[in-house]
Amino acid sequence: MAVYHLSTRINSNVPADYLLYDLCIYRMDSERNKYTLIDVKQHPFQSNYETQSHMTGNINESLSTIYIMEVKLYRNTMLHIHCVTPVPFTKMYTLEEFASGKAWSPVKRENPCYFESKGTMKPESRGGETKLIQITVPERPFIAKEYPVGNPLDPFEKSIIEQQINKRYNHYPDAFPDQNAASTCGPAAFFYCVQMDRPDVYAQAARELWRYGKTKIGALTILPGEGCKHPSGVFYTNDGRPRILGLDWMTLAGLRDSENTVLSFDTLDSPVAGITMWQTLTEWFEKAGYEKVFSNVGPVQAGIQGIRDLNEYAKNGYKVVTLINDGLLGRSDSNLTVPTHWVVWDSPATQDSNGYMHLNLFSWGNVYDQIKHKKDISFFVSRFFGGMVFKPLK
């Protein structure tokens, strides 16, 4: 148990003593229950535009725990105090960043901001005057080459992205990461786990990618290149269905592209650039704050004992992420027995009275028993290459 002093800072050209702030720092669990560390209203800033240092209660939290902050700003005039940010500014940082004074960005627009134009206008009785104020708005980071801003099929249009985020945040049925036309099953497995464990973190990461073209989940920095942020390719099938949602391109392709130093994930058909090795996937989970407790993943089949080992963890609520050949699943026609695909278990693997295998799992945007119909354990084992086990993210 420990007590922490938390703070953040803003950017402004208004004297700090003319400004006030609301600050709420909280996290959510898998059911979106809110746990608040700090919730203060209309406090004054320090002279350097840093908030006061707010003390938490006595808490038992890892310093790597991710929290969301919401900030509202107020302008104090001689006559009254009025809110200048009706929509709260949101950003996420770890408890360690909040406690060490690092919960702010060197990039101005990634902090809460309030600026005023300066100058006194002449009243109309004295001839009046016109002043020009130039306001610049940065270009939206993600723009599809074939569907630019204003195109009715723009996959990154703000209202469309926000609707997709809200469905994932509220756990709508089948509203899960889906790589579909992109070869990003590793990122899909990672973001599915984040969505299930910390829907607030998933939603905030997606919004930051849309706003800034980058985000940070714990110590995991997601910073896709320009090619990924301006992808080429057809986002829709002939009947108008999305080949991949804009949200999934930003998160899944964005994460995978961040790791590519040679190959660019800049088109919907980038299969080589999308392959994820287990060392990389492990690193993503651990940087985001997950703790790995077991692993039997590798280039060769893990055997029946490997299934038994993972079953014990699945029974106890751990995140079980396994490497398979996609031919194990009903939607694939593959006859190969080499590792090609990542899935996340939603329950232990079972065997029915006829000896056929069953396993509820996440893959391709769905969660259900996706094992091929009427296949026995030998078929399962020949396409199963073990997995990694993590404690749920808190």
The band of 117, judged by pLDDT with boundaries at 50, 70 and 90, is confident
Residue 86 forms part of a structural domain: yes
CA dist., res. 379 & res. 38, Å (int): 53
Per-residue pLDDT, 79: 86
> Does residue 268 share a domain with residue 302?
no
Last residue of a domain, one of 231, 258, 284: 284
Looking at every residue in the chain, the average pLDDT score rounds to: 94
Query: Which of 28-42, 160-174, 249-263, 294-308 has the lowest average pLDDT?
Result: 249-263
The band of 276, judged by pLDDT with boundaries at 50, 70 and 90, is confident
> Does residue 297 share a domain with residue 280?
no
Per-residue pLDDT, 63: 96
Residue 274 has pLDDT above 70, yes or no: no
CA dist., res. 300 & res. 266, Å (int): 31
Residue 208 has pLDDT above 90, yes or no: yes
Residue 151 forms part of a structural domain: no
The mean per-residue pLDDT over the stretch 256-269 comes to 79
The total domain count for the chain is 3
Query: Which of 34-38, 222-226, 248-252, 259-263 has the lowest average pLDDT?
Result: 259-263
Please spell the DSSP secondary structure of 79-147, one letter per residue: S-EEES-SSPEEEEEEHHHHHTT--S-SSGGGS-EE------PPPGGGT----------PPPS--BTTB
Residue 125 forms part of a structural domain: no
User: What are the structure tokens assigned to 217, written together?
Assistant: 């989940």
Residue 87 forms part of a structural domain: yes
Neighbours of 102 (CB within 10 A): 13
Residue with tokens 């960005």: 105
> Does residue 305 share a domain with residue 264?
no
Per-residue pLDDT, 1: 86
Last residue of a domain, one of 92, 110, 128: 110
Q: How far is CA 382 from the centre of its chain?
A: 33
> Does residue 296 share a domain with residue 238?
no
What would the pLDDT profile of 19-62 be if each residue is shown by its tens digit? 999 999 999 999 999 999 999 999 999 999 999 999 999 999 99
The mean per-residue pLDDT over the stretch 143-171 comes to 97
> Does residue 383 share a domain with residue 357?
yes
- CB neighbour list of residue 238: distance below 8 Å, 6 or more residues apart: none
Query: Which of 255-259, 314-318, 325-329 has the lowest average pLDDT?
Result: 255-259
CA dist., res. 74 & res. 381, Å (int): 62
User: What are the structure tokens assigned to 30, written together?
Assistant: 């898998």
Q: What is the pTM of this model?
A: 0.94
Last residue of a domain, one of 251, 284, 317: 284
Neighbours of 203 (CB within 10 A): 23
Residue 210 forms part of a structural domain: yes
Residue range(s) defining the domain that contains residue 44: 5-110
> Does residue 238 share a domain with residue 341?
no
> Does residue 219 share a domain with residue 300?
no
Per-residue pLDDT, 131: 65
> Does residue 252 share a domain with residue 341?
no
Per-residue pLDDT, 267: 86
Q: How far is CA 200 from the centre of its chain?
A: 9
User: What are the structure tokens assigned to 131, written together?
Assistant: 């002043």
Residue 375 has pLDDT above 80, yes or no: yes
